[in-house]
């Protein structure tokens, strides 16, 4: 019996795939070797979800895998026009990062409300300075992105007494549409970007949107860096159009050491870590193995991405 060939686009540490021993011929590659091995693969596991090598290699000659899985929620790093037009099924890691990201957002909101960054700074400088801080309960949040992560963020903030409003691509029960976005962010204390990166969402947080926000508002991005016009955000912070911001994702990652974002007043920078809790790689590996077992048994896959929309539909 010929075993299916599983090609893994690796990152360090590699995934634990011991359960697939004897059930798949596993090949490993890096960015440079992907194009040559792609025609051999029945399945491609994009373990290195920061790599854009798939977009470059996919249009080449030869057969292509019937199924591609990415160990991430977003798929913008791999879906190119040729992949979108193909019959290849794409799945993602939907469900793994929802609650960790929501907890991280809640931590950022509480840190901003309670002025924790300045508390740490004052302690470091041995300064005793009493302040009054904001109460979180009773405030409003606008969460942009109505998928599992956005919904988990809204639910977690609601548990803190925040009134959340969800904004999605299409209005429906419990979810506002894009036409309501400006109205909602104009009254929000916390504006949370948790949307997928698509042609519609790219650069959606621009000078206009930051100008609409309240001077007391705090902006948080845990979606994709390209959702934000970073120079416009920098200007908004310098001019104090908004009170502060926290970015976990950036247009260029890692954020270059000479980026002006590091020194912006009121901006908290974190290195794309909002969903990464202890054991997250093992959870991603176990999720893929379960999906592989479904695929090998001829059962329908879950977490199937609409390649033209750029996310899993139905939420």
Active-site residue numbers?
A: 224, 253, 272
Distance CA 144, CA 31 (A): 33
* Cα of 146 vs its chain's centroid, Å: 13
Residue by residue, DSSP assigns 264-278 as -TTEEE--S-TT--T
Residues contacting 231, CB < 8 A, separation 6+: none
Dist CA 54 CA 80 (whole Å) = 8
**How deeply is 9 buried, as exposed, middle or buried, from its count of CB atoms within 10 A (0-12, 13-18, 19+)?**
buried
Asked if residues 219 and 213 have their Cβ atoms less than 8 Å apart, the reply is yes
Task: Say how many C-beta atoms besides its own lie within 10 A of residue 147's C-beta.
Answer: 22
Pair 151, 174: CB distance under 8 Å: no
H/E element holding 289? helix 280-296
Structure tokens of 257?
A: 């050491």
Token pair, residue 64, equals: 């292509």
Cα–Cα distance measured from residue 297 to residue 71, given in angstroms and rounded to the nearest whole number: 21
Residue 230, phi then psi, degrees to nearest 5: -60, -40
């Amino acid at each position: 019996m010929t075993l299916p060939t599983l090609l893994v686009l690796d990152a360090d540490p590699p995934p634990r795939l011991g359960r697939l021993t004897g059930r798949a011929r596993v090949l490993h590659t890096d960015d440079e070797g992907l194009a040559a091995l792609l025609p051999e693969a029945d399945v491609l596991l994009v373990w290195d979800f920061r790599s854009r090598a798939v977009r470059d290699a996919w249009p080449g000659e030869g057969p292509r895998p019937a199924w591609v899985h990415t160990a991430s929620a977003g798929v913008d790093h791999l879906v190119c026009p040729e992949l979108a037009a193909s019959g290849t099924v794409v799945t993602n890691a939907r469900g793994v990062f929802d609650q960790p990201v929501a907890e991280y957002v809640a931590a950022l909101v509480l840190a901003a409300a309670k002025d924790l960054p300045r508390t740490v700074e004052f302690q470091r400088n041995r300064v005793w300075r009493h302040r009054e801080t904001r109460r979180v309960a009773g405030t409003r949040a606008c969460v942009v992105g109505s998928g599992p992560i956005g919904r988990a963020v809204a639910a977690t903030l609601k548990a803190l007494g925040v009134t959340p409003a969800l904004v999605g691509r299409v209005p429906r029960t419990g979810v506002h549409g894009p036409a309501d976005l400006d109205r909602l962010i104009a009254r929000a204390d916390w504006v949370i970007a948790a949307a997928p990166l698509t042609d519609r969402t790219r650069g959606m947080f621009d000078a206009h949107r930051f100008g609409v926000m309240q001077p007391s508002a705090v902006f948080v991005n845990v979606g994709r860096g390209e959702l934000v016009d970073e120079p416009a955000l920098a200007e908004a912070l310098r001019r104090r159009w908004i009170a502060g911001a926290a970015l976990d994702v950036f247009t260029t990652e890692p954020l270059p050491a000479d980026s002006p974002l590091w020194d912006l007043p009121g901006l908290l920078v974190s290195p794309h870590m909002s969903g990464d809790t202890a054991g997250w790689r093992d959870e991603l590996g176990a999720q893929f193995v379960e999906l592989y077992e479904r695929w090998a048994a001829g059962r329908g896959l879950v977490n199937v991405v609409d390649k033209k929309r750029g996310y899993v539909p139905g939420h």
